[in-house]
Structures are given as C-alpha cells and as structure tokens.
Structure 1
Amino acid sequence: MAAAGVQFHPACRARQEGFGLLFYDSRGPRLLFAETGNLLPADFFGTVRDRDELPDGLSDQQKTALQKFVTKLLEKGFLREQPLR
C-alpha cells in the first residue's frame, strides 16, 4: 500500500489574513478561522505533502500545534488523504 499524504479537498482553499488563515469550503457555507499567524503559507497544502511535513524553521512546540491542526483539518474535510507521488 502506498504511503498517504494530505492535500486540500478540491472544494477547499485557504486565504492569508492578518490573524492567520481563513479556510473556506465551496460545498457549503463552511469557514474555519485559524490563528496561525505566518507559520503556514495559504497554499501549503495545494500539493500533496507528507502528513508530518511542515515548513522549515518551526520550534518543537509550533510543530506539535500544527500537526494537531492538520488532524483537525482532515477531520473537518478541508484536507483529504492522497497517495504520495
């Protein structure tokens, strides 16, 4: 079985805002406000990434928080698992 990565669901996008990221889902009126500051670029999950892959230069605490956030995005349907290429 191929390893799984994560990527935006085709109906979902993120936009950079002053507080961090605004995630939106065109399948319905679903928004998610994330106070990520500039830790995560809006287009980070535009391509398939390993589930534990995060931007460089983060502290261990920031990595842990963002890994939990990725899990929440998967649970809410903003991200979906994809085979790694």
Structure 2
Amino acid sequence: MATAGAGIQLHPACRVRQEGFGLLFYDSRGPRLLFAATGNLLPPDFYSVQRRRDEFPAEVTAAQQQSLQKFVNQLLEKGFLREQ
C-alpha cells in the first residue's frame, strides 16, 4: 500500500515521446498507446525521475495543474506511471 509520501514515476516498460499535440505514451508490455494533448506543459522526461503526485513545472497555472492532476490519475490507472 502506498504511503502519503510516496512518489510516482514512469513505469520501466513505458516510454514517452514529444509530438506536436503533446505527449505520446507507449507501453511495451502490450500494444497500448496514450495520446495526451498536453502541448508543452510537461517535457517528455518529466516522470523519468520520482515526483510527488502534485508536482508540476513552476510555470504551470493553477487551472492547468487541476487538468494535469486528472491526467496523472489516468496515467496511474492505466499503468503508465507507478507509485513508489
């Protein structure tokens, strides 16, 4: 069970690539792709290191943070990110 201080990180079987629309997530455990219309809000390597669930780049606005938090939850549910 994850603790309150646990961080999240990209699953080792997953890769992220920057595209014109935002980020493309690829899961090598199966033919799963996730297209994320994030624009330039997150760099593709943002989750290559462990981060808090609510940690985002400094220039992200409060409204963008809310959207990104929903996105992070979706990535966790689909297995692209994992809690450490």
- TM bin (shorter chain): over 0.9
Residue of structure 1 in register with 2:51 after alignment: 49
1:66 paired with 2:68, answer yes
- Structure 2 unpaired stretches of 5+: none
Post-superposition shift, 1:17?
A: 0.3
- Kindly report the root-mean-square deviation, in angstroms, between the aligned alpha carbons of the 2 structures: 1.1
- Say which of 37, 40, 53 aligns to 2:39: 37
Q: Give aligned pairs, total.
A: 82
- Once the two structures are superposed, the pairs formed by residues 17-36 of structure 1 within 5 Å of their partners are 17-36=19-38
* TM-score using structure 2 length: 0.94
How far the C-alpha of 1:13 sits from its partner, in A, is: 1.2
Unaligned runs of 5+ in 1: none
Higher strand content, 1 or 2: 1
Instruction: Report % sequence identity.
Output: 71
Q: How far apart are the structure 2 equivalents of 1:80 and 1:44?
A: 14
The alignment's TM-score, normalised by the length of structure 1, stands at 0.92
User: How far is 1:2 from its partner?
Assistant: 7.1
Q: Partner letter of residue 65 of structure 2?
A: K
